[in-house]
Structure 1
Amino acid sequence: MRERYLLACALLCIAAGAEAAPKEAAEPLRDENGEPVQVGVFTSRWGRLFSGNEDVFSGALSFSSGLKEQWITIPDSSDSAEQKKKYNQTLNLSLQYSPYSYWFVNVTSRLPVTDTSRYTADFRYSFGYDDWHANTVSLVYSNYGDNRFWTSGNRRNTYFEQGAVTLAYKFSLPKPIENKLLINKGDSIICQVGYSWGPRYYDLESNDIRKNKNVLLSGCGYTFKQHFFVRATAFWFPDSSQQQPWNGDYSYSFGYAGYTPGSFSIQYANYSGTRYPGHQSGNAKFREGTISLIWFLPL
């Protein structure tokens, strides 16, 4: 029942956002060459949080909720923690600084809705160069690991070496193919291929830290009416032993994305251990995804 309630709220928010969109947004945002630009907030895990705007400072407040209860480690002091089964719900503040061109730094601070303390607050961060237009190259470092403002025991605030560097190339499809796939004038499809390298990573089987994790990725995104979107990315591990249970065969997301200050976005995203049919569980693990409601701050 709780999962159905969350999904119903998401659909209502999407409908409300569509009605509230300004009239001028009906015309698609285009680059200097007249090509449609895919825009949005939090629609990519390997680049800028705020695509489609060129502001030096950008920010967003968001609420995220899982669709099922999961076992979560909750630090309760500087040297202890407990395991608890609950819905993973967080309030998030995301800030991005883009000093020049498409260079950027962003940080997302997260605070659990329940079991709130200074030890349960964490953060994620990334920086690099990421142009959201087609036919461009991006180079981004990102760290979505266990980064804490206040640490437990002898742990560090962040393990920089356990982040990942991703080199990717975005491209548009050939016009004859693209024209057959687009539903409306002004819609856009942008794809990307990339390579991600992690200097260090945790290996569950050996319960140890390993070196040099390599991942190849390829995916596409479709933006409908400049706001509605669906994204999918496939991953391939040249060394299959490096793929951990939480590393998916693919990821996917969809929703409604605003890109102007003061606008709202709603999205579902799944970056969990998805598996293709015939590979282990062969499960898309939809209920292990996350629904997020996002407010693009009018800075």
Structure 2
Amino acid sequence: MFTTRWGRLFSGNKDKFSGALSFSSGLKDQWLSIPNGSDSARQKKKINQLMNLSLQYSPYSYWFANITLRAPIADTSKYTTDFRYSFGYDDWHANTLSLVYSNYGDNRLFPSGNKRRTYFEQGAFTLAWKFSLPKSIERHLLIQQGDSLVCQTGYSWIPRYYSLADNDLRSNKNVFLGGCGYTFKQHFFVRATAFWFPDSAQQQPWNGDYSYSFGYAGYTPGSFSVQYANYSGTRYPGRSSSNAKFREGTISLIWFLPF
């Protein structure tokens, strides 16, 4: 539920084919590199607003393959359209194991110059275990009957990653994660995940110390979901380059397609 930025968008949906159309927007303007040709781009300061189309195929049990196509609301060209994808096994119930590959890198439908469409080796392989807390502890944390609290611990391995300090690619990035998600009234949720980098030099400025999200999710086809998420560059209080302000996050309105 918590290994990807979407928080497993289709968790709880047992259909073989699932889809969602969403609008996401940052809460403050930022400098963005906007490709405007096969080998050119320009810098512009604006709020990053995107339309996203996510499609998922689950052929059997909890095996799945997911792709999300993303295009900016403004300054649109074929070179600005990108995509993210993931696949693997991910049972969203407690006390289950998941193994997921996900790639949120510089994936382009129409890559510029000599760039590749995707860099598979820069994606993350995540092995995780979801579990429920002991009843003696859980009963003191649940607000009302019917609420649920599921936690997760896991490990991610990235074969190749970009190091800002070295301005080059490096190998074998390791990240440990742990977090919990609370759902109340079957739709409202709060999730938080902490990350630990055994080699602190591997943590880049955009790699957060933690991530969190909250919102409302309908899950069923034809329903809507709205959520706020903050996962990029967050830092614990007292750490250098602290960037955990609320306006650094993104708000999304999601419509689960009725098929």
- 2:88 and 2:7 mapped to 1: Cα distance? 8
Matching residue of 1:110: 70
- Among 43, 50, 68, the alignment partner of 2:28 is 68
What residue ranges of structure 1 are gaps of 5+ in the alignment? 1-37
CA-based RMSD of the aligned residues comes to 1.4
Give yes or no for contact 1:221–1:231 (8 Å, CA) kept in 2.
yes
What code does the residue aligned with 1:92 have? N
- Among 206, 211, 220, the alignment partner of 2:171 is 211
Q: Which runs of 4+ in 1 moved over 2 A?
A: 42-49
Percent identity, please. 80
Q: Check 1:243–1:216 CA distance in 2 against 1; reply closer, same or farther (3 A cut).
A: same
Give yes or no for contact 1:49–1:106 (8 Å, CA) kept in 2.
no
Summarize deviations over 1:257-283 as a string: whole Å, max 9, x none: 111110000000011100001111334
Q: Check 1:288–1:232 CA distance in 2 against 1; reply closer, same or farther (3 A cut).
A: same
Matching residue of 1:191: 151
Query: Per residue, is there more strand in 1 or in 2?
Result: 2
Matching residue of 1:156: 116
Matching residue of 2:92: 132
- Among 264, 284, 287, the alignment partner of 2:224 is 264
Summarize deviations over 1:238-270 as a string: whole Å, max 9, x none: 000000000000000000011111000000001
Give yes or no for contact 2:5–2:231 (8 Å, CA) kept in 1.
no
Query: Per residue, is there more helix in 1 or in 2?
Result: 1
Give yes or no for contact 2:4–2:102 (8 Å, CA) kept in 1.
no
Of residues 147-156 and 127-136 in structure 1, the stretch that sits farther from structure 2 once superposed is 147-156
Q: Check 1:173–1:246 CA distance in 2 against 1; reply closer, same or farther (3 A cut).
A: same
Shift in Å, 1:285: 2.6
Provide TM-score, normalisation by structure 1.
Answer: 0.84
Alignment coverage as a number of residue pairs: 259
What residue ranges of structure 2 are gaps of 5+ in the alignment? none
Q: Looking at both structures, which has the greater relative contact order when contacts are Cα pairs under 8 Å and sequence separation is at least 6?
A: 1
Provide TM-score, normalisation by structure 2.
Answer: 0.97
